[in-house]
Amino acid sequence: MRAESTRGWRLWALLALGLCLCLPATARELPPALRAHAPELVLHGSADMRHFGFKIYTARLWTTTQGFDADTPFALDIEYALDVEAGALVETSIAEIRQQGRRDEAQLAQWARDMREVFPDVRKGDRLIGLAVPGVEARFYSSQGYIASIRDPAFVDAFFGIWLRADTSAPKVRARLLGAAAATL
Asked if 54 and 98 sit in the same domain, the reply is yes
Asked if 1 and 74 sit in the same domain, the reply is no
CA distance 153 to 137: 6
Asked if 22 and 77 sit in the same domain, the reply is no
Asked if residue 57 is part of any domain, the answer here is yes
Asked if 111 and 141 sit in the same domain, the reply is yes
Provide the residue type at 83 as one letter: D
Asked if 5 and 51 sit in the same domain, the reply is no
Asked if 116 and 133 sit in the same domain, the reply is yes
Per-residue confidence in pLDDT tens, the chain, 185 aa: 455 544 443 433 333 333 333 334 334 689 999 999 899 999 999 999 998 989 999 999 999 988 899 999 999 999 999 999 999 999 999 999 999 999 999 999 999 999 999 999 999 999 999 999 999 999 999 989 999 999 999 999 999 999 999 999 999 999 999 985 334 33
Asked if 9 and 99 sit in the same domain, the reply is no
Asked if 24 and 60 sit in the same domain, the reply is no
Say if CB 80 and CB 60 are below 8 A apart: no
Asked if residue 182 is part of any domain, the answer here is no
Asked if residue 185 is part of any domain, the answer here is no
Asked if 41 and 75 sit in the same domain, the reply is yes
Count of structural domains within the chain: 2
Asked if 19 and 65 sit in the same domain, the reply is no
Asked if residue 162 is part of any domain, the answer here is yes
Burial category of 113 from C-beta neighbours within 10 Å (exposed 0-12, middle 13-18, buried 19 and up): exposed
Asked if residue 183 is part of any domain, the answer here is no
Asked if 7 and 59 sit in the same domain, the reply is no
Cβ within 8 Å of residue 14, ≥6 positions away: none
Q: With a threshold of 0.85, does the pTM exceed it?
A: no
> Range of 105's domain?
31-177
